[in-house]
Chains A and B, each alone.
Chain A
Amino acid sequence: MTSPAIRAARLIACVAFATAVGLNVTAAGMARPRATTEAPLWLQSPDVARRLSLSFRDLAADVYWVRAVVYYGSERLAPGGEKRYALLYPLLDFSTSLDQRFDVAYSLGAIFLSEGHPGGPGRPDLALQLLAKGRRYEPERWQYAHDMAFVHYWWLKDFRAAATHFEEAARLPAAPLWLRTMAAVTLAKGGDRDAARQLWTQLLDGSEVDWIKRSAVFHLQQIRALDDLDALRGLIERFTARAGRPPSSWDDLVRAGLLRAVPVDPQEVPYVLQNGAPALSPASSLLPLPGHEAGR
């Protein structure tokens, strides 16, 4: 038999707990959204963090990595305004200093840092710095040299530097055979869309990380959109030559038998006609297309 005192205590505990949860729910509904502020970095030196974390370095590296991913995601998804990404490189630097073999933090971190404005930080210079650090710790790992080549090729349009890094990557142990041709392709067809498509396809096929694959798919879709826009320009020219005026809408091209339906981009968003020229819809997430983004 339970004594009345114990029963009363249990009842009080249950009621108080339910009330506390109810109050929390009410308070959450009343809270005003806080202005976004940069979360502080409590430690300023990765070297100090390395010493303080004792035998828990890898876990500390994971914590900084998760912080970097969450920080990047929340900045990227934040509506409008200037996106600063001020903490992104320090967080990645901490993570890779604590776990110097954290290959994904270097590779994916470089992709995060390189992404152009307005969505990304537009800092390929920091991406190269991060990858160079990875190469210092693991000079035999061809992937870092390949990633550096990639940043030079895609974001900095420095095809000579890209070719040099591809050559370096190809010379490293366990480097795949296709890397040998990349240096030549880069020099011969620098800026060529097919070469870029080849690069992203290799990244898509070669990576085991979903996020890197997703990034490759996204950029391949951008390249396809550029191809689509070229093709649409050709059709518009043909229509203009035939009709003696530019089309006022896609329906003109459909009626003329040049298109079967309103053309859509690789993400199924219809292309738009602006002053007689084809363009991506402002609603398309493929914007800005390569060559149209601002860099820092």
Chain B
Amino acid sequence: MSPVTVGRVAAAVYKESVRDRVPLSMVFFAGVLIAASIFLSQLSAGQDVKIVKDLGLATMNLIGLLISVFVGTGLVAKEIERRSIYAVLSKPVTRSTYLLGKYCGLLLTLASNLAAMAVALYLVLGYFAIATPLPANSTRPPHVDPWLLLPLALLFVQLMVTTAAALFFSTFSGPLLTVLFTLAFWVAGHFGGDLRDYGRVVDSPIAAGVARALYYLLPNFGGLDVKNEVVHGAALDAAAITAAVAAAVTYAVALLGAAAAVFERRDLK
């Protein structure tokens, strides 16, 4: 597997997504939404900056998820449908290289879109920093808070796993099912805490065991969500975050490996 070939495929995916304009229009929409939060915050009894931060981060989460699911599921399926995949695979490009290149290209697209949305968010927060500065003795986090980059970085890690899942599902199912599977996977990843504690509320040891097994099998996106802590300036658990990131990255590698294994065996005729 040549890194150069992976890079070329990734660059092609990135260029195509820019030409496609779907992610771009989503980013534009996010920018508008973040700017609109200025008006919404007028009704918040002084909680304007908190609402701008919450809305900005939630919008990035949603848009990132949509790009990851809808673009991710079409990455391979669209090429097979258009039959353009044959042209690529007839060259000295292995299926695994092709898949990895596609994955890296989409991650590049996601990273640049998140960066664009982060700039929009910081611009709006900069406006608030000038219009309503915090008092000198304030205990609240600053308006233009560099720590906001942490939930964004962790969101990117979440999207790495979600995109790997979309790619994995797309290697053996159609676009509609892939979207459904990926969304279900993402939702399930947010119920980690409930699955872990399920044993406390049920009597059946089998049900509790199944829930516990699912808890270990599914990714735990809750550990990668520190939006609330950062917005409130609360203490962060560095060890727990590091463990969650390591688990998520490993999970993404496992999904990519499984996707490559399925894709290598798939009959493309």
Using CB atoms and an 8 Å cutoff, list the residues of chain A in contact with chain B: 51, 54-59, 61-62, 65-66, 69-70, 99, 101, 103-104, 108, 208-211
Asked whether any CB of chain A lies closer than 8 Å to the CB of B44, the reply is yes
Contacting chain A: which of B47-55, B113-121, B259-267? B47-55
Q: Which of B86-136 contact A (CB under 8 A)?
A: 134-135
28 A-B contacts (beta carbon < 8 Å): A51-B191, A54-B190, A55-B58, A55-B190, A55-B221, A55-B225, A55-B227, A57-B228, A59-B55, A59-B58, A62-B44, A62-B47, A66-B43, A66-B44, A66-B51, A69-B43, A69-B44, A69-B45, A99-B228, A101-B234, A104-B46, A104-B47, A104-B50, A108-B46, A208-B134, A209-B45, A210-B45, A211-B46
- The residue among A55, A57, A209 with the most chain B CB atoms within 10 A of its own CB is A55
B194 contacts chain A at the CB level, 8 A cutoff: yes
Which residues from chain A contact B58 at a C-beta distance below 8 Å? 55-56, 58-59
Rounded to whole angstroms, the CA-CA distance of A15 and B140 in the bound complex is 51
- Shortest CB–CB separation between residue B68 and chain A, in angstroms? 13
Chain B residues with Cβ below 8 Å from A211 are: 45-46
B232 at the A interface (CB under 8 A): yes
| B165 interface contact, C-beta 8 A | no
Answer whether residue B61 sits at the interface, using C-beta atoms and an 8 A cutoff. Answer: yes
B53 to chain A, nearest CB (A): 8
- Whether B190 and A101, one on each chain, are in contact in the complex, defined by CB atoms closer than 8 angstroms, is no
Which of A62, A69, A210 contacts B50, CB < 8 Å? A62
B61 touches A58 (CB 8 A): no
Q: Please report the C-alpha to C-alpha distance between residue A235 and residue B133 in the assembled complex, in whole angstroms.
A: 46
Which residues of the other chain, B, contact A210 by a CB distance below 8 angstroms? 45-46
Residue of A51, A59, A69 with most chain B CB atoms under a 10 A cut-off: A59
Closest to B158 in A: A55
Q: Point out the residues of chain A lying under 8 angstroms from B134, CB to CB.
A: 208
Q: Do A62 and B54 contact each other (CB < 8 Å), given the known contacts A69-B45, A70-B43, A210-B46?
A: yes
The answer to whether B240 has its CB under 8 Å from any CB of chain A is no
Q: Return the chain B residue nearest A99 by Cβ.
A: B228
Docked complex Cα distance between A65 and B40 (Å): 12
How does the 8 Å CB contact mask read for B218-231 relative to A, with 1 for contact and 0 for none?
00010001011101
**Does B2 lie at the interface of the complex (its beta carbon under 8 Å from any beta carbon of A)?**
no
For residue B191, which residues in chain A have a CB less than 8 angstroms away from its CB? Answer: 51
Bound complex: CA A211 to CA B57 (Å): 26
A93 to B147, alpha carbons, bound, how many Å? 28
- Say yes or no: A56 contacts B228, CB within 8 Å: no
Q: Which residues of A contact B62 (CB under 8 A)?
A: 56
A58-B58, A104-B45 known; 8 new pairs, CB 8 Å cut-off, are: A58-B54, A59-B55, A62-B50, A65-B45, A66-B44, A70-B43, A108-B45, A211-B46
Are B190's CB and A209's CB within 8 A? no
Please, how many angstroms separate the alpha-carbon atoms of A95 and B160 in the complex? Answer: 31
CA distance A103 to B46 in the complex (A): 12
In the assembled complex, the Cα of A51 lies from the Cα of B191 at a distance in Å of 8
Known: A58-B227, A62-B47, A209-B46. A51 touches B234 (CB 8 A): no
Residues of B close to A57: CB separation below 8 A? 228
In the complex, which residues of chain A have a beta carbon less than 8 angstroms from the beta carbon of B55?
A: 59, 62
Query: Is there contact, CB below 8 Å, between B190 and A65?
Result: no
B62 to chain A, nearest CB (A): 8
Residues of A close to B43: CB separation below 8 A: 66, 69-70
Query: Looking at the complex, which one of A54, A65, A101, A103 makes contact with B228 (CB distance below 8 Å)?
Result: A101
CB distance from B194 to the nearest CB of A (A): 7
Chain A residues within 8 Å of B46, by CB: 104, 108, 209-211
CB of B138 within 8 A of chain A? yes
B184 smallest CB distance to A (angstroms): 12
| In the assembled complex, B80 has its CB within 8 A of some CB on chain A | no
- Chain B neighbourhood of A99, CB < 8 A: 228
CA distance A186 to B57 in the complex (A): 44
Residue from the set B54, B61, B190 with the largest chain A CB neighbour count within 10 Å: B54
